[in-house]
């Protein structure tokens, strides 16, 4: 995943850009969870990366998730909590797609 993709999606060092994919994701996630965006979810994870201005060490790459990375740990945790699969629209798949 490139830093540019994260910024283009609307996750920036100054916050989520209005009218962007990021703001749409935040709105959908908040509605689905009853009004809030959960820590560790797709929106907060991507915003953290956007705020830092760097995605290089996260482990989300164009060729897949790097073994032993933060992304790998996220995927493993998400898989365990969903009974063995990574759900479509979950944190790992959303962040990897961007």
Among 6-15, 21-30, 54-63, 72-81, which stretch is predicted with the lowest mean pLDDT? 54-63
pLDDT interval class at 56 (50, 70, 90) = low
pLDDT of residue 20: 93
Q: Compute the distance between CA of residue 38 and CA of residue 59 in angstroms, rounded to an integer.
A: 21
| Digit-coded pLDDT (tens) for 68-92 | 888 888 888 888 877 887 777 777 7
Q: Compute the distance between CA of residue 22 and CA of residue 13 in angstroms, rounded to an integer.
A: 13
Quote the strand ranges of the chain, DSSP E. 11-12, 15-16, 60-61, 64-65
pTM beyond 0.75: the answer is: no
């Amino acid at each position: 995943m490139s830093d540019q993709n994260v910024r283009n999606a609307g996750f920036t060092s100054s916050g989520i850009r209005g009218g962007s994919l990021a703001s749409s994701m935040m709105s959908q996630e908040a509605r689905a969870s009853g009004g809030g965006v959960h820590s560790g979810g797709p929106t907060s994870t991507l915003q953290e990366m956007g705020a830092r201005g760097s995605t290089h060490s996260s482990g989300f790459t164009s060729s897949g998730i790097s073994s032993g990375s933060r992304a790998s740990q996220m995927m493993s945790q998400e898989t365990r909590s969903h009974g063995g699969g990574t759900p479509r629209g979950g944190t790992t798949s959303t962040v990897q797609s961007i």
